[in-house]
Structures are given as C-alpha cells and as structure tokens.
Amino acid sequence: MSTHLTTVAGVPVDTRHFIGGERVASTETFTDVSPIDGSVLAEVSRGTAMEAAAAVAAAKAAFPAWAATPRAERARLLHAIADGVERRLEELSLVETTDNGALLRSHRRGVMPRVAHNFRFFANWLLELDHEDFTTRGHTNHVTWDPAGPCVLITPWNAPLMLATWKVAPALAAGDTVVLKPAEWSPLTASLLADIAAEAGLPAGVLNVVQGYGSEVGDPLTAHPDVRRISFTGSVPTARHIAASAAANLTPLSLELGGKSPLLVFADADLDLAAGLAVEQYDNAGQVCLAATRILVEAPVAEEFTRRFTEKAAALRQGDPREETTDIGPTIHPRQLEKIDGFVRRALEAGARAVIGGHRGEGQYYVPTLLTDVRQDSEIVQEEVFGPVLTLQTFEDEDEAVRLANDTRFGLAATVATGDAERAARVTARLVAGTVWVNCFFVRDLKAPFGGSRHSGVGREGGTWSFDFYCDVKNTVTAP
C-alpha cells in the first residue's frame, strides 16, 4: 500500500494533491489531527507555489473542452458525482466527523445528503438557465452565460465538504474548471471528492485539489494571472489578503466571510420558540458563520426568556460527536480553543457575567456560554468568537433593537422572533443582513441568494447568482 494512503475511521484516504487527474505528492507534509481525541490522522501533502502552478495549468488545459461540453453532458456528470456522494455517504460522514469534530448524525442525515443535492441542484438549474430575448428598436437582445475559465475555490474547516461543493458544483455546471484548496485543519473529504469525481467520469484537470497552508499554496493560487474567478469562504483578514492578490489581475472575487449576527426577541414572541432558536446557536460548537451570537431581548421578557434558555441549554449533551446522543462536539483545534477562551476571559475581566458556562471543558471542549452585562462597544459584542459563546443584551423598543442589531461591522444574517407580522416586516426592512430569518433559523434554499453585507462579504451566490458569478454573462444584440 502506498505511504500516501491513510485510513481514517476505516476509510482509505489519499493524502496527496489531485492535479490533472493524477495523484501528486509534495516533498513536505503537514500533520492532520482529529479534534475528537488529538490523534494523528494523516500526513498530508504540503503544497507550494509549484503545485499551485501545476494545478492552475491543469485547469487551464482542461478548460476549452469542458467549456465546449454540452450542458446536458455536464449536468449528467454532476448527477453522477451526486450518485457517488450518496453511495459513499457513510464513509464521507465518518471521515468528516473524525477530521473536524462536527456531529456524525448531522453529517449522515443533513450535511452529506445536502452535498449530493448541491450537485443535483446546479445540474438541474443549468438546464433551466435561460434568457428571455427582448427587443430594442427592433433589435433582439440575447443573453448567454458563458464559461469563464479556471476558478480557485478556497474553503474553511467548519463545514468542509458542504462549503466546498456549494462552490464546486456551480463552477463545474457553469463550464469552468476548478482548483479547490480545502482548509489545512480538515483536508480529507476534499480528497475523497476528487476520487468520486474521477470515478464519475469527470475529465482529467476539470477538478483539481491542492492541499496545504494558505500562505504557502493559497497565496500563489489567488495571485495567478490565469485564474478567472476566486471564491473564498473564511475570515476577514484572509479575505483582505486575497482581495489584494486578486487586485493585481483584476480577478473577480466572491467573498463569504464572518458574522456577528443578532437574534432579536420581542416581547410578543413565542418565548419557547425564541429560546429554542437561541440554543440552536451552539450547533457545531458555535463554529458557524451564520450563528446568531448576539441575543437582543426586549427588557420586560428578558428574565423569562433567560429562564427558558438556561433550561433548554442545560439539556444539551456535550461529548464525542460520533455518539448519536451528543449535541455539541469539540472545538476544531487547540488554537481555536485558546482563541475562544481568550475572548471570554477578557469579557469577564471587563465586567461580563456568565449566566452559563464561561470556561473550558475537558480536552478540546468549550462549555456552552451565555454572557450578560456586556457593553455594546466591547470586544465580545463586536468581534466574531467562532465558538459556543453567546451574549445577551436588552432593548426598550424597536428603534433600539434595530440600532443594536446593526451596530457591528458585519452583516451576514439576522433572526427576528416576534408574533407580529407587521413588526417583522418593519424590522426586517431596517436590518443590514444578507439573510433574515423570521421565527426560524438556518432554513436555506439553494435558489436563494446567499452572502453578506459590509465585512461579511462581497457578492452573492446561490441559484442564478452563482451562475452570474461563475460565468461571463454576455448580451448579443442582433439587427432586424
């Protein structure tokens, strides 16, 4: 057996890059560790500028034939990839959980079926993607979505395959070729995706996967002049760096970044529902970009809301994410745990009070935390923690609720709990957010636009918005 094959949760995974249809090793490796127990999972190829250049060259070489492949055939291949994901759903779930510590039951029942759906959805949308011809002084306007070229797709560790395929599927459907660079803390399922795509018959070079650190292999990818699109999901500091690299080549960018989203609870809300929505924010140990981490409650119901919230939070079971009964798993990495702990310690020193939690658990776990007595301009209210840490503030009226909700540099999402539909409409209209949920959370249709305002991102993806981004949209005007 090759030394580049590792076995994770009983599943063989190739830890080399996948470039031009071949497995390619780097001379150096990096160590991939499981957040569940700190065990070493793999030594993974550590890409450099050399592998970045090879992957872009492979994507460039494969582009003309893939772009010319009829839509129906591209759609067929995307469905074949979805079939492969469904066939290997259990393996993908086991590997993802072992690699990033998110719940196995969520991977099995929610995430991996959704990964397959990402491919099916964009395959089907491609077949329906069409224009309406219209006339201007007798001339017809005919709009087409042309393939754009090689795309670099860079993704984070909190929902690795889900976020990767949310980009890979529309890019491939659009007729673009892809270089995917997964996060170094969760590199494994991207490698399995490369196998699945090859087995499905995707031509060599259409999907390439390179592994390694952002500064070593991500940087040369985003600075490459042959790359025609960069789609990035991750943190604001990395986004700034990537945007600067892209600027040199004027490479179009899509940026899905962090958040500090509010949950507004009005006195007329179903408080049980609102408390349930608040507790949901601990999912994936709070490592969710969309998480509504700032709970804003109308003052007269704050006490009752807090009572119901603590009751529900007390029922959460923290532990091994492979267990069916676990609700909250570990944080991804000792560095992330340190970061979370630092945020909370500084908040407590500044006068915050922990209603629940406020400290680490065992190993790499952080105890679900709710902090109150926090100032609007404090770090804990303004900065993304990316852990199971929520703050609670009160407001007196709608104006104050909206003012507090909008008063961060982010604008990814917001959740509004109210029993008054007119209030919901009024408040929603004033919120700065890419997605607003009213009396619900995390309901997402791939048809809908997804993205953030302000420092939460640039651009929207989803449905036609994805094709608008991954294509060169063209209008052809023909004389009568």
Q: Which residues bind ligand NAD (CB under 6 A)?
A: 154-158, 163, 181, 183-184, 213-215, 218-219, 222, 233-235, 238, 241-242, 256-259, 289, 384, 386, 412, 452, 457
Q: Is 241 helix (H, G, I), strand (E, B) or coil?
A: helix
* Closest CB to ligand NAD among residues 222, 369: 222
Q: Which residues contact 334 (CB under 8 A, 6 or more apart)?
A: 364
Q: Cβ(424)–Cβ(445) under 8 Å?
A: no
Beta strands in 274-323, from DSSP E residues, in sequence order: 292-298
3-state secondary structure 338-353: HHHHHHHHHHHHCCCE
Run of H or E including 8: strand 5-8
Q: Cβ(336)–Cβ(314) under 8 Å?
A: no
The whole-angstrom separation of Cα 199 and Cα 21 is 11
The whole-angstrom separation of Cα 433 and Cα 460 is 12
The closest alpha carbon to 82, from 125, 126, 112, 127, belongs to 112
| Residues in the chain, overall count | 480
- Which residue is at the shortest CB distance from ligand NAD? 214
* Torsion of Cα atoms, 5 then 7 then 10 then 13, to 10°: -50
Q: For residue 384, indicate whether it is catalytic.
A: no
Positive/negative CA dihedral, 306, 309, 315, 320:
negative
The closest alpha carbon to 192, from 230, 220, 226, 165, belongs to 165
* Closest CB to ligand NAD among residues 9, 154: 154
The closest alpha carbon to 104, from 336, 319, 359, 358, belongs to 319
Considering only the C-alpha atoms of the chain, give the largest distance between any 2 of them, rounded to a whole number of Å.
74
Q: Cβ(222)–Cβ(246) under 8 Å?
A: yes
3-state helix, strand, coil in the chain (%, to 5): 45, 25, 35
How distant is the alpha carbon of residue 235 from its chain centre?
A: 11
- Catalytic-role residue among 91, 184, 256, 298: 256
Q: Which residues contact 315 (CB under 8 A, 6 or more apart)?
A: none
CB of 316 to ligand NAD, least distance (A): 22
Query: What DSSP letter does each residue of 303-314 carry, written as one string?
Result: HHHHHHHHHHHH
* Closest CB to ligand NAD among residues 169, 242: 242
CB of 333 to ligand NAD, least distance (A): 9
CB of 444 to ligand NAD, least distance (A): 11
CB of 166 to ligand NAD, least distance (A): 8
Catalytic residue numbers read 256
